[in-house]
């Protein structure tokens, strides 16, 4: 069926619930309610939408607005008291589940030199993208990692983890990304506190990078059968180099330009079971076309500046800004500079969408593939 005839078919509401209330029916519905039941035709159109309708709204969180507030929390609470000193991103459409978009949580965590947050584990998976500072580290199941700007780090579900900043470092801020809302929706949230508050570091520092960070090479003698990547840290420099190398031999695509996925070096698949992550480079002057797909996405600007149009709203972004693209929202990205590349880090729930066969995608056919801009938020 063509898009036009499909639209008119929809408008005719053929085959959809269309029952008008009568006093008799309303009385009947009340009786059903007493029995903890309901008539499907009263909710069918809502619970079976024609297409995904996200409750999340597109949001841009500007770092220049947030940074000062994040730093202020340092003088107000300690990591010991707060557990994790984090300002979370609260999507106005998802306040009930504390999600930044869809079923994904995100927050900005801040630590000062000499501070340490105690070890815990949970059944949610976590990731971090380092924004600023020096001397940050995280320990995951005894593997200690040093963290630099634009490094991407994993804390897969079930692993003990803790964070800190070395005494001779600088105040550090990073973005946390977790699947907390998803795990809660699935009613599978567990949480445990380490009996000793901190773990022993039982491997050489940054060993996962030494073992598994060799690009297309993998170590002969090391076994790995966990359902997540054995490489816990993806450093910025090799990531940026990979994008540059990719751009030398390929055009990229009309929506995302040069898009690369962080992968599990053992399988080539997503880094964790529930969340995937990517880095993309928009070439100088790149003007992307609009598409939409299922899956929720949180972007962080790793480099450069530009704008994205999301469901007709234009969001101008610069380095460290974070924005979300809800499931099935039209979106297109533009690099505002004609001389500098722009890089966008993003994480998503694609592993879930793909495993459940729920990934759908389409390009905007009209208007040469660009959305009319309806508004630009202040
Ligand atoms: O660092 O383990 O932003 O458990 C929220 C929940 C960070 C963490 C968050 C968490 C963490």
> Any idea what DSSP says for residue 340?
S
> Taking residues 258-287, what's their average pLDDT?
98
Higher pLDDT, 377 or 268: 268
> Taking residues 184-212, what's their average pLDDT?
97
CA of 64 to the centre of ligand 1 (A): 23
Task: Note the helical H segments in the chain.
Answer: 3-11, 23-34, 44-47, 63-76, 79-82, 180-185, 207-212, 236-249, 350-355
Is 12's pLDDT higher than 90?
Answer: no
156 lines ligand 1 (CB under 6 A): no
pLDDT in tens, 36-87: 999 999 999 999 999 999 999 999 999 999 999 999 999 999 999 999 999 9
Largest CA distance in the chain: 75
User: What is the band of 375 on the pLDDT scale with cuts at 50, 70, 90?
Assistant: confident
pLDDT in tens, 260-271: 999 999 999 999
Residue 19 lies in a domain: no
Is 357's pLDDT higher than 80?
Answer: yes
Residues shown for the chain: 378
126 lines ligand 1 (CB under 6 A): yes
Structural domain for 262, as ranges: 60-369
- What atom of ligand 1 comes closest to residue 128's alpha carbon? 1
pLDDT in tens, 113-131: 999 999 999 999 999 999 9
- Measured CA to CA, the distance from residue 31 to residue 235 in angstroms comes to 61
- pTM (2 d.p.): 0.95
Give me the residue label for tokens 């600023």. Answer: 132
- Measured CA to CA, the distance from residue 93 to residue 58 in angstroms comes to 9
pLDDT for 8: 55
Is 206's pLDDT higher than 60?
Answer: yes
CA of 125 to the centre of ligand 1 (A): 9
- What atom of ligand 1 comes closest to residue 109's alpha carbon? 3
Instruction: Output the domain CATH number for residue 264.
Output: 2.60.120.10
CA of 176 to the centre of ligand 1 (A): 7
Is 216's pLDDT higher than 70?
Answer: yes
Residue 51 lies in a domain: no
User: What is the band of 1 on the pLDDT scale with cuts at 50, 70, 90?
Assistant: very low
- What atom of ligand 1 comes closest to residue 86's alpha carbon? 3
Residue 12 lies in a domain: no
Q: How many domains does the chain have?
A: 1
Is 2's pLDDT higher than 70?
Answer: no
- What atom of ligand 1 comes closest to residue 120's alpha carbon? 2
Residue closest by Cα to atom 10 of ligand 1: 84
Is 298:282 a contact under the CB 8 Å cutoff? Answer: no
CA of 183 to the centre of ligand 1 (A): 14
User: What is the band of 295 on the pLDDT scale with cuts at 50, 70, 90?
Assistant: very high
Higher pLDDT, 12 or 346: 346
Residue 160 lies in a domain: yes
| DSSP-assigned letters across all residues of 164-216 | EEEEEEEEEEEEEEE-HHHHHHTT---EEE-TTSS----S-TTHHHHHH-STT
pLDDT in tens, 151-176: 999 999 999 999 999 999 999 999 99
Helix (H, G, I), strand (E, B) or coil at 74: helix
pLDDT for 9: 58
Residue 48 lies in a domain: no
The percentage of the chain sitting over the pLDDT mark of 90, rounded to a whole number, equals 94
Instruction: State the average pLDDT for the chain.
Output: 95
Residue 327 lies in a domain: yes
Residue 21 lies in a domain: no
pLDDT for 189: 98
> Taking residues 182-190, what's their average pLDDT?
98
Residue 312 lies in a domain: yes
């Amino acid at each position: 069926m063509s898009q036009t005839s499909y639209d008119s078919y929809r408008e005719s509401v053929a085959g959809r619930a269309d029952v008008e209330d009568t006093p008799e029916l309303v009385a009947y519905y009340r009786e059903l309610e007493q029995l903890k039941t309901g008539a499907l035709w009263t909710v069918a159109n809502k619970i079976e939408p024609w297409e995904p309708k996200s409750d999340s709204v597109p949001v841009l969180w500007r770092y220049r607005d947030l940074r000062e507030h994040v730093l202020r929390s340092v003088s107000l609470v300690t990591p010991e008291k707060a557990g994790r000193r984090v300002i979370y991103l609260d999507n106005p459409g998802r306040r009930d589940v504390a999600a930044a978009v869809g079923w994904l949580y995100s927050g900005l965590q801040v630590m000062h030199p000499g501070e340490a947050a105690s070890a815990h584990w949970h059944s949610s998976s976590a990731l971090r993208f380092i924004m600023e500072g020096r001397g940050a580290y995280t320990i995951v199941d005894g593997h200690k990692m040093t963290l630099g700007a634009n490094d991407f780090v994993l804390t897969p579900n079930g692993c003990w983890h803790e964070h800190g900043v070395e005494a001779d470092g600088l105040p550090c801020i990073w973005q946390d990304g977790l699947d907390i809302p998803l795990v809660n929706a699935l009613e599978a949230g567990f949480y445990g506190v380490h009996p000793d508050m901190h773990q022993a570091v039982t491997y050489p520092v940054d060993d996962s990078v030494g073992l598994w960070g060799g690009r297309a090479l993998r170590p002969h003698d090391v076994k790995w059968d966990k359902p997540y990547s054995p490489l816990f840290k993806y450093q910025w420099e090799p990531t940026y180099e990979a994008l540059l190398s990719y751009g030398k031999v390929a055009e990229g695509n009309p929506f995302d330009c040069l898009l690369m996925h962080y992968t599990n070096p053992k399988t080539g698949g997503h880094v964790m079971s529930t969340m995937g992550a990517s880095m993309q480079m928009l070439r100088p002057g790149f003007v992307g076309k609009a598409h939409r797909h299922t899956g929720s996405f949180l972007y962080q600007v790793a480099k450069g500046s530009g704008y994205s149009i999301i469901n007709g709203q234009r969001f101008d972004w610069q380095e460290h800004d974070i924005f979300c693209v809800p499931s099935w929202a039209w979106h297109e990205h533009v690099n505002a500079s004609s001389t500098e590349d722009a890089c966008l880090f993003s994480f998503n729930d694609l592993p879930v969408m793909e495993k459940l066969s729920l990934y759908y995608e389409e390009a905007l056919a009209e208007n040469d593939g660009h959305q009319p801009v309806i508004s630009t938020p202040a």
